[in-house]
Amino acid sequence: MADELLELETRRDIYDLVRREPGLHMREIQRRLDLSIALTEYHLRQLEDSDLVASIMEEGYKRFYPTTGADGGELRSLGGEERRMLGLFRQPIPLRVTLFLLNDEPATNSQIADGLGLSRSRLSFHLNKMLRQNVIRRLTRSEGRGYVLVDRGRTLKLLIAHRPSQDMLDECADLWDSLDI
């Protein structure tokens, strides 16, 4: 059944992209493959109906994840928190903040904003989103000042296992390259 479903080149391209980069939303898939939105939506629905991909709604975006591994076997399912984290890592600013913190934590709002060249208000919006998703936490007064990653090890594992796209990495190459991985 899956082989028949993936005979269409467009559908196979969509499926391959979702497997390579889980957590992308429909418009990003459409842009990356240069397809019409209607065609992208149709093929994603076919893949979902056939249980080759699954989707979840996150902050107004429907994000897609594979249900099988590269060898066709069952993929270790990503937990809800991991899916949310991957969803954030598919966004340029949260990815840059995460990479900044992997290199230099704890860091204050000012240090992050200056280091990434962002306005404080724009950064604050993304920090709050990352706090809500439990990717980062604000240090208490007794711990000092700034932000740290909630689970540095899991964050690194997710970034290594589900490497961001080359376009995303090009935007933050200096931060990515400075990681010792």
Structure tokens, 67: 């249900």
Residue 167 and residue 125 share a domain: yes
- What span, in angstroms and rounded, lies between the C-alpha atoms of 163 and 16? 14
Q: Of all helices (H) and strands (E), which one includes residue 136?
A: strand 136-138
Structure tokens, 103: 């290199």
Domain that holds residue 87: 82-177
Does residue 82 contact residue 133 with C-beta atoms inside 8 Å? Answer: no
**Neighbouring residues of 5: CB distance < 8 A, sequence distance ≥ 6:** 11, 46, 47, 50, 52
Does residue 38 contact residue 25 with C-beta atoms inside 8 Å? Answer: no
* Dihedral angle, C-alpha 107, 113, 116, 117, nearest 10 °: -160
Residue 90 and residue 172 share a domain: yes
**The whole model's pTM is what?**
0.64
Predicted pLDDT of residue 103: 85
Structure tokens, 46: 């076919």
Residue 173 and residue 87 share a domain: yes
- What span, in angstroms and rounded, lies between the C-alpha atoms of 103 and 83? 23
Q: Of all helices (H) and strands (E), which one includes residue 62?
A: strand 61-66
Question: Among 45, 77, 109, where does a domain finish?
Answer: 77
Name the more confident of 159 and 169.
Answer: 159
Residue 55 and residue 86 share a domain: no
> In CATH, what number is assigned to the domain containing residue 50?
1.10.10.10
Residue 111 and residue 170 share a domain: yes
> pLDDT-derived band of residue 5, with 50, 70 and 90 as boundaries?
confident
Residue 146 and residue 95 share a domain: yes
Residue 94 and residue 10 share a domain: no
CA 67 from chain centre, in angstroms, equals: 17
Residue 73 and residue 93 share a domain: no
**Percent of the chain's residues with pLDDT above 70:** 81
Residue 101 and residue 69 share a domain: no
For range 11-36, the mean pLDDT = 88
Instruction: Please tell me whether the peptide bond between 106 and the residue prior to it is cis, using omega within 30 degrees of 0.
Output: yes
Predicted pLDDT of residue 71: 43
Question: Among 50, 77, 104, where does a domain finish?
Answer: 77
